[in-house]
Structure 1
């Protein structure tokens, strides 16, 4: 087994939480750690995230059981897992929207590179500033 690529970022979370792990399309992982935690708390959050990655939790669908196992808790026998399929369509739509936005961004970057090449940085930035200040379509 190979070690997965893990990108880690400290982020000021808007709400309480220690960490969040996202599996990327290329099989790598992104770990977001709450910057408001103490240094020890950040290390613990990172280790917790790595446990999820090492345990293959992204192949499972029952979040409650995953978290219970990660924290060493016993799952009650009468436990009924939350249905995950409710969110699958929303996730698919979000991924589709993200791809569309990324494509539009690449097109705008190409457009900006052409403008910069044609007019030079000074005129290009002056044009962008003017458009930002006075245009309604930006």
Structure 2
């Protein structure tokens, strides 16, 4: 699936860049909101937008948060994009690599504390976590 390849590639490329602060050996530049709605496809290639959550830390944290965001859509039965989101999530997890389960709880806490999330989006976080862990 092209979308999963592109999303995983963007993570790999971003995490290959040296961190600005470099306070830890495993520090990487993190977007912390990298999903398909924050990628613009241009004639010069994909452009990642919406950097307001950017920070530095372990790359797995960024990848796992993208997985959580996709999984939240995938587990929302009424959402018209739930089936394609589940397919995208599976393909993304296959391509992204990393050890996401070690940071999943931290990512769930980040999402739970996101003031932009609705109550129903927060309620889907546990189901999203189950979906991700069942893939690993």
Tell me if both proteins adopt one fold, taking TM over 0.5 as the criterion.
no
Q: Which TM bucket (shorter chain)? A: under 0.3
Rg (Cα) greater in structure: 1
Q: Which has the higher contact order (CA 8 A, sep 6+)?
A: 2
TM-score by length of 2: 0.26
